Structure 1
Amino acid sequence: MDPAPHSDISAVSALDEPARRRLYDFVRRHRDPVSRDDAAEALGMARQTAAFHLDKLAEEGLLAVGFARRSGRTGPGAGRPSKLYRRSDREVVVQLPERSYELAGQLLAQAIDDSERTGEPPRVTLGRRARDLGRAVGTESGPGDAEFLATLERCGYEPCIEGADIALVNCPFHSLAEGHTEMICGMNLELIDGLIDGTGSGGRVARLAPADGYCCVRIETTPTLTDG
């Protein structure tokens, strides 16, 4: 649910390019970081080509980058550090439609910790955690209706304009909501309330409105009061 710079779908797509996949496989098989020269020589590839694809993999978060002098020498005359690559710790999971079960697990774990520390009911702390996260994501995305819709899209909700309202075609917590409807839908409602607040989408309100084929939350437009 984090509109992060790396999309799992984009990362998987990056590996669809044959040379890029060979380089990724070469790096992941090595315990120690490898250089552009290492990869190019091992795969019979031009160094410039290897560098291009390695950097693309790093941009997608699939490889981590560091710098070190391979000779171990330091000081004047030691030469420039080499750019080194290793497999990143990022986990890539592609689910269609998009799901955010890891996020739900993190929120639930945080809520339990908060509950044990404060003595508040877990659902109260879960709602607060979800709302705070939504507000933080919304604030980072910036104000405005366009930004709000884009944020909902990046978070996997698949927003759809229906009249004056925004329907959410996908629920990122679908399986959990089926088994624990009241708790998870309540968490979802607080999360979207936070998004509305964070993006400053005035005139919008999130309500629980379960319907087949939709997320349990629907975003309605509040009527504007005018002088009669």
Structure 2
Amino acid sequence: MLPGERSSVAALAALDDELRRGMYEFIRRARRPVARDEAAAAVGISRKLAAFHLDKLVAAGLLCAHFEPVGGIRKVGRTPKVYEPTRTDIRVSIPPRQHDLLADILLDAVLTEGERETAAQAAMRVARERGHQLGTAERQRNRPGRLGVERALTRSEEVLAAHGFEPDRETPTCVRLRNCPFHPLAARAPELVCGLTQAFLSGFLDGLHARTTDAVLDPRPGECCVALVSAPRRAAAAEPGSTS
């Protein structure tokens, strides 16, 4: 499960209660700040019980609360607490999916396609650029420099796990990616989507300065079509004292 999906699970759990769900739907439809009394009346419960459930929705990240005069009219006494929906998207996918990343790559490809590029070439370029940005950011967070096979694969496992690839060290020099974050779209256009995945991961390794490791196409049923493997000749060349 991706880190952001944990909060989505908590939000969905909060909505499992019928009263909370009813108040949440009422507040979303209102499209304005809603006070506790109004939310309570919408589902037929007391103001005190409504306050309990509304605070649960706030804690789950579904609502935000602040104090504001109802209807914009200032009255004598305490300013009431009002609730509005947050802009949080709630998405949970098991296994993890990254359709927004794929859509972002394709959108950027459309917007930046060059005169001498095909649409597919533009998409491959953007996918590699996005991967390179990810790898560069990871390298800058840690010690820069070229990585040997072991460290390159370990760092790749750590980062790609957070992006839903479910990496698994099959051998000391090969990391299999047990989940395809772009499924089922990969099943509809495997040549395009698998090519974009390889370009993204190649760019990632390049940005990471993992010169000893390649992203290669190695499709297997039910898994990502790309594996990360050591590049023997370059690995040997990268060893200290090597003259190759």
TM bucket by the smaller chain? 0.7 to 0.9
Which letter maps to 2:85? R
Please give the alpha-carbon distance, in whole angstroms, between the structure 2 residues aligned to 1:71 and 1:175.
Answer: 47
Q: TM-score, normalised by structure 1?
A: 0.72
Q: Is the 8 A contact 1:69 1:79 kept in 2?
A: no
Contact 2:97 2:180 (C-alpha < 8 Å) held by counterparts? yes
After TM superposition, give the deviation of residue 172 of structure 1 in Å. Answer: 1.7
Aligned to 1:196: 205
How do 1:1-228 residues align onto structure 2 when only pairs under 5 Å count? 5-7=4-6, 8-16=8-16, 20-35=20-35, 38-39=38-39, 43-44=45-46, 45-46=48-49, 49-58=52-61, 62-63=62-63, 68-70=68-70, 72=72, 82=81, 84-86=83-85, 88=87, 90=89, 92-115=90-113, 117-140=114-137, 142-143=141-142, 148-164=156-172, 165-199=174-208, 201=210, 203-223=212-232, 224-225=235-236, 226=239, 227=241
Q: Is the contact made by 2:135 and 2:205 (CA closer than 8 Å) also made in structure 1?
A: yes
The higher radius of gyration belongs to 2
Larger displacement relative to structure 2 (127-136 or 181-190):
127-136
Q: 1:69 to 1:130 in 2, by over 3 A?
A: farther
Q: CA deviation at 1:216?
A: 0.7
Counterpart of 1:126, as a letter, is A
Residues 204/9 of structure 1: CA separation in 2 closer, same or farther (3 Å cut): farther
Indicate the SS of the match to 1:52: helix
For structure 1, the residue ranges without an aligned partner over 5 or more in a row are none
| Amino acid corresponding to residue 84 of structure 1 in structure 2 | Y
- Aligned-CA RMSD value: 3.6
> Aligned partners of 1:139, 1:41: CA distance in 2, in Å?
54
Per the normalisation by structure 2, the TM-score is 0.68
Structure 1 residues 85 and 163: alpha-carbon distance in aligned structure 2, compared to 1, 3 A threshold: same
The offset of 1:17, in angstroms, is 5.1
CA contact (8 A) 1:34 1:86 kept: no
Structure 1 residues 175, 46: CA separation in 2 closer, same or farther (over 3 Å shift)? closer
User: SS state of the match for residue 113, structure 1?
Assistant: helix
Structure 2: gaps of 5 or more residues = 143-150
Partners of 1:88 and 1:103 lie apart in 2 by 19
Question: Equivalents in 2 of 1:65, 1:140: separation in Å?
Answer: 35
